[in-house]
Structure 1
Amino acid sequence: MTNYTLEEKDSFTVLGIGTEIKSHYTDFAGINKEKADFWQTVSQDGTLDTLKAVATNDYIFAVNEAVNNKMMHYAGVMTEETLPEASRIIEFPKGEYLVVKGEGNTADELSNKLAGIAFGQVLPEAKDFAYVGGPNTTVEMGQRNGVVFGEMWIPVVRK
C-alpha cells in the first residue's frame, strides 16, 4: 500500500474563494479540467495573491467540500481574517486525518496525484478507518528542486 500516515490534528479554519464543480462526480477528466481552469483564473486575476496576503502561513489549500448538495472546490489559506470576496469559511474538525504526502511538477499534478492515491488506493483498501464526508484538502507546502510538494488531508473515523 502507498505511503500514508494517520495524524491527529487540531481544528483549523481555511478562508476560501470557490467554484461549483458541474461535472458528474465520476467524470474525473471533467472535474480535473474544471479545477485546473479555476486555479488558472485565480492565479491570473489576483485572487490567490489577495488570499495569500491575509494568510498565517505559506500553505495554499485546495479544498473539496459538498455544500447544499453541490460539489464545491476552493482556493484557500489559513487565516483569522475575512475578505469581502471570500465565498466560504471552511471549518476542519479536530480529529484524525489520513495524510498522504507527495510531489508533482505543478500544483495541479500534485493535487491530482494525491487525490488519486488517497481515494483510489488508500481509502478503498483501509480496514480500520474510513472517510465519512466533510471537507478534504490538498495542501501545497512549497517548492524544492523545481517540484511542488505537499500533502492531502482527509478527516477519517475509526471503524
Structure 2
Amino acid sequence: MANYALEEKESFTVLGIGTDLKSDYTDYAGINKEKLEFWQAAQQDGRLDALKAVAENDYIFAVNEAVNNKMMYYAGVMTNATLPEASRVILFPKGEYLVVQGEAQTADMLGNMLTGIAFGQVLPEAKDFAYVGGPNATVEMGQRDGMVFGEVWIPVVRK
C-alpha cells in the first residue's frame, strides 16, 4: 500500500472559485481536461491572484465537492475573507484526514497523482477507516528543486 498518514485536523475554511464538472464521474480524461482548462482560465483572468491576495498561507487548494448532485471543483485558499468573485465558502470539518504526500513536475500532475493514490490504492485497501463523503482537496504547498510538492487531504471516519 502507498505511504499515507491519518492526521487530526482542526476545522478550516477554504474560499473558492468553482466550476461544475460536466463529464461523467467515470470519465477521468474528460474530468482532468475540464479541471486543467478551469485552472488555466482562473490564472489568466486574475481570479486565482485575487484569491492568493487574501490567503492566510501559501497553500493553493484544488477542492472536489458534491453539491446538489453536481460534481463541483474549486480553486481555493485558506482564509476567512470573502471576495465578490468567489463562488463558495467550503468548510472542512474538524476530524481525521487521510493525508498522502508527493511531488510532481506540475500542480496538475501532482493533483492527479495524489488523488489516484488515495482513491485508487489507499482507500480501497483500508480496513480501519473509510471516506464517507464531504469535500476533499489536493493542496499545493510549494516548490523545491523544480518540483511542485503537496498533499491530498480526505476526511475519513473509523470503521
Please give the range of the TM-score, normalised by the shorter of the 2 chains: over 0.9
CA-to-aligned-CA distance 1:34-84 (integer Å, 9 cap, x gap): 000000110111110000000000000000000000000000001111001
Q: Which residue of structure 2 aligns with residue 128 of structure 1?
A: 128
> Per the alignment, in what secondary structure is the counterpart of residue 153 of structure 1?
strand
> Per the alignment, in what secondary structure is the counterpart of residue 24 of structure 2?
coil
Gap runs ≥5 in structure 2: none
- Calculate the TM-score normalised by the size of structure 1: 0.99
- Structure 1 Cα separation of the partners of residues 80 and 39 of structure 2: 23
Q: Which residue of structure 2 aligns with residue 46 of structure 1?
A: 46
Gap runs ≥5 in structure 1: none
- Structure 2 Cα separation of the partners of residues 112 and 43 of structure 1: 19
Equivalent residues in 2 for 1:9-158, closer than 5 Å: 9-158=9-158
Q: Runs of at least 4 residues of structure 1 off by over 2 A?
A: none
Q: What is the CA RMSD across the aligned residues, in angstroms?
A: 0.4
Identity %: 81
- Structure 1 Cα separation of the partners of residues 112 and 102 of structure 2: 11
The AA in structure 1 aligned to 2:23 is S
> Per the alignment, in what secondary structure is the counterpart of residue 124 of structure 1?
helix
CA-to-aligned-CA distance 1:95-152 (integer Å, 9 cap, x gap): 0000000011000000000000000000000000000000000000000000000000
> Per the alignment, in what secondary structure is the counterpart of residue 30 of structure 2?
helix
> Per the alignment, in what secondary structure is the counterpart of residue 41 of structure 1?
helix
- Calculate the TM-score normalised by the size of structure 2: 0.99
CA-to-aligned-CA distance 1:1-34 (integer Å, 9 cap, x gap): 1000000000000000000000000000000000
